[in-house]
Amino acid sequence: MKNARLVLPAALLGAAILALTAVSPGAPPDLRVTLERLVRTARETNGAYDTIRSLTDSVGPRLSGSPGDARAVAWVKAALTARGFSNVHPEAVTVPHWERGEESGEIVSPVPFRLSLCALGGSVGTPPGGVEAEVVEAQSLEGVDALGEKAKGRIVLVWKVMERRSDGSGYGATVPIRGAAASRAAKMGAVGALIRSVGTSNARLPHTGSLRYEEGVPKIPAAALANPDADLLHRLLAEGKTVRVRFALSARTLPDALSANVVGEIPGREKPEEIVVLSGHLDSWDLGQGAVDDGAGLGIAIEAARLIGQLPRRPRRTVRVVAFANEENGLAGARAYAVAHAAELPFHAAAIECDSGAGRVSGFAWTAGPSAERVLANVAEILKPFGLGEVKKGGGGADVGALRAAGVPLLSPIQDVSRYFDIHHSADDTFDKIDREELNTGVAAMAALAWALADSEAPLERIPEAERVAPRRER
Amino acid sequence: MKNARLVLPAALLGAAILALTAVSPGAPPDLRVTLERLVRTARETNGAYDTIRSLTDSVGPRLSGSPGDARAVAWVKAALTARGFSNVHPEAVTVPHWERGEESGEIVSPVPFRLSLCALGGSVGTPPGGVEAEVVEAQSLEGVDALGEKAKGRIVLVWKVMERRSDGSGYGATVPIRGAAASRAAKMGAVGALIRSVGTSNARLPHTGSLRYEEGVPKIPAAALANPDADLLHRLLAEGKTVRVRFALSARTLPDALSANVVGEIPGREKPEEIVVLSGHLDSWDLGQGAVDDGAGLGIAIEAARLIGQLPRRPRRTVRVVAFANEENGLAGARAYAVAHAAELPFHAAAIECDSGAGRVSGFAWTAGPSAERVLANVAEILKPFGLGEVKKGGGGADVGALRAAGVPLLSPIQDVSRYFDIHHSADDTFDKIDREELNTGVAAMAALAWALADSEAPLERIPEAERVAPRRER
């Protein structure tokens, strides 16, 4: 056991903080000085920008199990070492290994047209010549069920428009289709499934992402159409045309492969055994460079931690950068971390996840015990003049979600994602999409937040027992 | 000879108009009534929008000589007939027949990455396995010449950013590279040529367009890279990396094929033998649907003429819609029209070409004899309250340019093209990019302009002899 405080119940800790903040409301003056310094430095830095450029241009796409994934592990290790982090090391993770292969599609009739589509992650391949069938449309998963006999032997198109919203809520409203369309269509006897991309762009680039096959249901091939292509099929069908489509995927799932989470630390000066995790994920989809998903998040995490390490005094607790493996299609990295660090989780004071792109950050979201609200309000008050002071409940992410069961307070940036879903999971996720100034709002906010969490006298109140199980969320 | 006025010198006609407008300055009241009526009707119509939708969705891509080209000829014929045009007929044109085939490319080293590229129109194919070589960069055609020995056995990348401007002037500054890069690189001994796309989008979709091989120079394969891909190569080279690229094109030129210009008319009530041409082109590049290039122009031309035909009284002269064949890679349709109608050209009172997309129109540009300025100012004055009253010199286009030698006054819309070059010549040129309200500004302006030209007592003064040869312009 590393720390006697482990035996102190979390609720008591929370109460202690509450008492402290009640005695001295407002932010401590030295906290203000440090946060303002971090924000000012972060706004001028090229650090995150150059880090993302190096990752995207020298590693490229890095889907779990691919050669790029292995390059990414080596790159993170080298990058953390070069930036002066301590205790840099990979932690082995067994990951799924799915390969896209080649893919093509076309409208066969009424008029030939080459379609822009991509296999959904995890899809089975088609027979070598592809599948060809008449297309029937549904506009929701329930609509697929309602097709009944009409879907038999057909290709089912699920056509639903993802709405553009700055908070990303349009994603939650459509992404369940990506996960479930294939099995729902297969249950109705369909031979293939197509979806309108879960993305907001009208460029002819499809958006991939994972599907989930239900057990006991035939696995049928599934692909996302670029939105203009889905809309073309939708228009033709709305006119009452009989539309035949052929598509061919050579996608396949190979035996599991070895990857790694990569860790590096800025050791704490007083309580080095207490940890504030600052994280992004090192894998990416294969179509683009993984610049905004999640080169940006990883770049922000690394640079924010580096800036903390550059301060004249280290924070009380250790800031640990974690580059998670396999966020996109398995979360094996998140699970492996939670298992490997199980004994340490009670000393995890907080876990921050950056995985919502490179857009402007306006503050942070949190999930913790109720007393955290007042503590974080002090941080927000300091950040407000910089446009970084928004606070709301509901922080977390797919990777740090694995720490929720242990009650670890979870935090994440509040980020403008109104353009994120134009490029997310598509070939368009390339370095040129990064705006340095917007990116640095994330570096500033996360550096400040991580410092505040790592240097406070007492850690945040942990997530109450009753809230430690979260509903499943699609990524 | 159809018209005795043929013997009257054009200059005398111009002087007659000048005299007329000098006697009664300002627009005639009945002209005002008709133009205002046309503009109001045009703003409400779904006509052009539905026409473009029908063309793009039921014909699709229609590169000269392809099956889509033949479908387009049939479609225009049917569309003009269905809309009540007279004298609807195709006029045969022999066109080049180039086929794209399959294409692929990748960075081989320093790090593998699949490139988004497309053959330039007219390019030869590569050997089946593609060409693979180290990449050397130039930033202009002169820069290619200056590479000298460094280009030998290499792939030359010409990297120049096209600037986004509402008047499209960024296109003129970069498109010569598309035409000439291959032969300029071949002269230096290069084995392949790549260019940054002549387009303004940062989507990973390359922009095609014609190249021209110089006689006596080896024909090397040439492709356009999507801009993010070109920028990636540029960044790697700027870092001093040795970059090897492989690309494979199965493009080929087949024997010439048969296509057609398609013509339809609103016959004039007084001088039906005098013609105002209102035109777009029926061919398109093969990557998209040809929605903005030039479904939009053709849709505007057809709908503007249809609205004129719906008026209670026909204009004095005939309004002739011409859907030109082969604008994109040969201009064979334009040349064939000029030849087939040579005897009629002296009776061509004007020719309007719509070929700059579906963006907002603010007026029109003209090329004619000097006295036209005052006549057209009267038209513009009526259109000004509708935001359509901008006038400038320099009207014309690639197709009607063939009529310049005969002195035919040439006109074209002044159109906001700031977003046009995001999708022009790329897979992104699809129907969903059309905004009905913006499109209708073009219908309104062109209907009004065509009426004014077709119903005036005297035609516009013709282009002075000295100005009848225009410099070559890339398309």
CB contact under 8 A, B60 and A112: yes
Mean pLDDT of B372-392: 97
Is residue B74 within 8 A of residue B90, CB to CB? The reply is no
Q: How confident is the model over B140-183, as pLDDT tens digits?
A: 999 999 999 999 999 999 999 999 999 999 999 999 999 999 99
pLDDT at A176 over 70: yes
Q: Which two tokens stand for residue B219?
A: 């024909």
Question: What does the alpha-carbon distance between residue A235 and residue B250 come to, in Å, rounded to a whole number?
Answer: 32
Q: Which of A229, A235, A428 to mutate to test the interface with B (most CBs of B within 10 A)?
A: A428
CB contact under 8 A, B112 and A67: yes
A289-322 burial code (b ≥16 CB/10 A, e <16): bbbbbbbbbbbbbbbbbbbbbebeebbbbbbbbb
Average pLDDT score, chain A: 94
pLDDT at A386: 98
Residue whose structure tokens are 């959904």:
A120
Residue B391 has pLDDT above 60, yes or no: yes
Residue A3 banded pLDDT, cuts 50, 70, 90: very low
Statement: residue B10 has pLDDT above 90: no
Least confident of A8-22, A366-380, A445-459, B48-62: A8-22
A150 touching chain B per CB within 8 A = no
ipTM: 0.92
Q: Is the CB of residue B30 less than 8 Å away from at least one CB of chain A?
A: no
Amino acid at B440: N
Tallying the residues shown for chain A, one arrives at 475
pLDDT in tens, B86-143: 999 999 999 999 999 999 999 999 999 999 999 999 999 999 999 999 999 999 999 9
CB contact under 8 A, A71 and B111: yes
pLDDT score for A281: 98
Distance CA A372, CA B411 (A): 69
Do the Cβ atoms of A202 and B112 come within 8 Å? no
What pLDDT shows up at residue A123?
A: 98
User: Is 60 exceeded by the pLDDT of residue A474?
Assistant: no
Residue B17 has pLDDT above 80, yes or no: no
Q: Average model confidence (pLDDT) for chain B?
A: 94
List the one residue out of A266, A262, A267, A259 whose CA is nearest residue A280.
Answer: A262
Instruction: Indicate which residues of B carry an active-site annotation.
Output: 327
Closest CA to B430 of A109, A201, A104: A201
Chain B closest-CA separation from residue A332 CA (Å): 26
Task: From A11, A1, A13, select the one nearest A458 (Cα to Cα).
Answer: A13
pLDDT in the model for residue A358 = 98
When pLDDT is cut at 50, 70 and 90, the band that residue B21 belongs to is very low
DSSP state of B241: -
Predicted local confidence at residue A6, as pLDDT: 42
User: Which residue among B67, B204, B236 sits closest to A430, beta carbon to beta carbon?
Assistant: B204
Element (H, E) at A246: strand A244-249
pLDDT above 90 (res A434): yes
User: Is B432's CB within 8 Å of A53's CB?
Assistant: no
Q: Strand locations in A294-441, DSSP E? A: 317-324, 348-353, 361-367, 390-393, 410-415
Q: Which of B423, B436, B422, B444 is nearest to B361 (CA)?
A: B444
| Residue-level pLDDT at A25 | 53
Structure confidence by residue, pLDDT tens digits, A122-165? 999 999 999 999 999 999 999 999 999 999 999 999 999 999 99
The pLDDT assigned to B165 comes to 94
Q: Given B71, B232, B427, which is nearest A204 (Cβ)?
A: B427
DSSP codes joined into one string, B152-197: TTSEEEE--PPPP-TT-HHHHHHHHHHHHHHHHHHHTT-SEEEEE-
Of B61, B71, B205, the CB nearest to A204: B205
Instruction: Please give the share of chain B, as a percent, with pLDDT higher than 70.
Output: 93
Residue B473 has pLDDT above 90, yes or no: no
Residues 374-393 of B with CB under 8 A from A: none
Q: What pLDDT does residue B469 have?
A: 86
CB A400 within 8 A of CB A351: yes
**Residue B3 confidence (pLDDT) above 50:** no
Q: How confident is the model at residue A469, as a pLDDT? A: 86
Distance from C-alpha of B218 to C-alpha of B152, rounded to nearest angstrom = 13
Q: Which residue has the tokens 């002071």?
A: A389
With CA atoms as reference, the chain B residue closest to A233 would be B57
Q: Mean pLDDT throughout A12-39?
A: 68
Is the predicted pLDDT of residue B41 greater than 70, yes or no?
yes
Residues of A serving a catalytic function are: 327
Contact B232 A57 (CB under 8 A): yes
pLDDT score of B29: 84
